[in-house]
Amino acid sequence: MTTPLLLALPFLAIAPFATAQDADTPTGAVESATTIAAGDGDIPVERYRTDGDAVLLWFPSEHGVQDGHRDQALALQAAGIEVWLVDPFTGHFLPEAASSFNEMPLATVPDLIEAAHDDTDRPLFVFGHDRAMPWLLTGLYQWQQAHPEAGHLAGLLMASPYLHTGADTDAAELQAIVELTNLPVYILQPALSPQRQHLGRIQVGLSAGGSSVGARLLPEIRDRFFFRPDATAEERLASETFHREIVFGMDLLTRLPHQRVPAVAAAGTDLTVRTPSGSDAQLNTLDEPVDAPPLEHPDLAGDLQRLEDYRGEVILVNFWASWCPPCVHEMPSMQRLEDELREVGFRILAVNLGEDEDTIQRFIEDEVQTDFTILLDPEQNSLDEWRAMAFPTSYVIDRQGRLRYYLFGAIEWMETGVIEQIRELLDEEA
């Protein structure tokens, strides 16, 4: 068994594959577009050519190819890395969605690996992220089976991998393909991500299969930070140097032990691709609905707000603080949720614990620009009755004033499963 390695150090400016054209930012680089026959489809590939020492085959997530991918590809090209940015969604006439990976031919992955190898004859690295990973790992396993002893695949990089089988909880099991992956792996994990809690489990699972594993925790940023339209200042800064993180990961992969023979699956192992979708993320359900405790605090305008005055509506009560990164992370999606459901009777009461009004006002204006109702509890009087012992803590109250759902920790509130739970309460009579 290989011991996983966690790198949580500041970025080291190592660029082992750099050529004379190395630079921090692209200078006049131009990509070329082509299609490659792979997996019974013609896969569009944006190729960022260079005469450097390595090629990076980049598979997008369920969000498809974004301008942020192209920005990173140009920066990598300027640093001497040739990038093949592939679009399997268009190539297989599938929508950009997590469920599409369940229908994509696995042969797409080995076919593209061999096409890149035949064309460039250079060490090849594969990069994937988010919900693409179960499909990508299974395709890589198929490549290993078809090309035992081959040495031109140097390793796999992945960012925020979704490799569990169900909900984002501590009890989530890993997909079977994890322990059948024995390639060298380097994981780039944003710290403000629901997948952060699975990083250790994924490292252990990959190591059990024979992979040499390195990982780096990226502080103060969320998933998809390099192409998010609502990117924070920290995320925009991280995007400018993300290509360096990738180059560092590629260099590390060349130094890790490398298995040449694929792992052997136990008899009966089911390797059907089942991509975790947004519907997997859900709130916890109370076994029996109970009356919500009293809640009475002033809002930022100084008006006293009482939970009982909202009877007849579905209310999300969220306890938070501005110094809590997960609290900040989930606020934009909370705002979008209220925007979508406000007209059918959904409201948010976000109770700040322990901070003064000026601090909260500056935070709302400068950082998150939300307009759902903020309540002030500087003495933290809500803690005992509401059991808000973690930041954030959330409860959803039905139209009759009863607690129905709860969550300790952050979540993306626009996930399909969460919206369905709240809509069910909205459909109930007051």
Residue 334 sits in a domain of what CATH number?
A: 3.40.30.10
Q: Decide which of 243, 261, 277 is a domain's last residue.
A: 277
d(CA 145, CA 106): 12
> DSSP state, 390?
S
Domain check: are 303 and 262 in the same one? no
Domain check: are 127 and 154 in the same one? yes
Give the tens place of pLDDT for each residue, 33-91. Answer: 999 999 999 999 999 999 999 999 999 998 899 999 999 999 999 999 999 999 999 99
Domain check: are 249 and 320 in the same one? no
Domain check: are 266 and 379 in the same one? no
Domain check: are 255 and 363 in the same one? no
Closest CA to 425 of 347, 314, 344, 345: 314
**Residue 380: domain span:** 281-427
Give the tens place of pLDDT for each residue, 229-257. Answer: 878 899 999 999 999 999 999 999 999 98
What integer pLDDT is reported at residue 129 of this predicted model? Answer: 94
Give the tens place of pLDDT for each residue, 287-338. Answer: 899 999 999 999 999 999 999 999 999 999 999 999 887 788 788 889 999 9
Distance, first Cα to last Cα, the chain: 57
Domain check: are 112 and 233 in the same one? yes
Q: How many helices (H) and strands (E) does the chain have?
A: 10, 17
Tokens encoding 146: 């078809």
Per DSSP, the three-state class of 12 is coil
Q: Decide which of 277, 304, 320 is a domain's last residue.
A: 277
Tokens encoding 210: 């024979």
Closest CA to 142 of 130, 126, 166, 164: 126
Domain check: are 264 and 290 in the same one? no
Tokens encoding 378: 């500087």
Domain check: are 305 and 192 in the same one? no
d(CA 47, CA 55): 10
Q: How far is CA 229 from CA 98, 213, 218, 225, 226, in A?
A: 20, 31, 19, 9, 9
Give the tens place of pLDDT for each residue, 166-199. Answer: 644 445 689 999 999 999 999 999 998 878 888 9
Q: Decide which of 222, 242, 277 is a domain's last residue.
A: 277
Domain check: are 245 and 357 in the same one? no
> Residue 39: which CATH number?
3.40.50.1820
Domain check: are 130 and 262 in the same one? yes
Q: How far is CA 20 from CA 11, 225, 386, in A?
A: 22, 29, 61
Domain check: are 336 and 237 in the same one? no
Tokens encoding 238: 């991280």
Domain check: are 363 and 235 in the same one? no
pTM score over 0.75: no
Number of domains observed in the structure of the chain: 2
Closest CA to 39 of 94, 118, 121, 99: 94
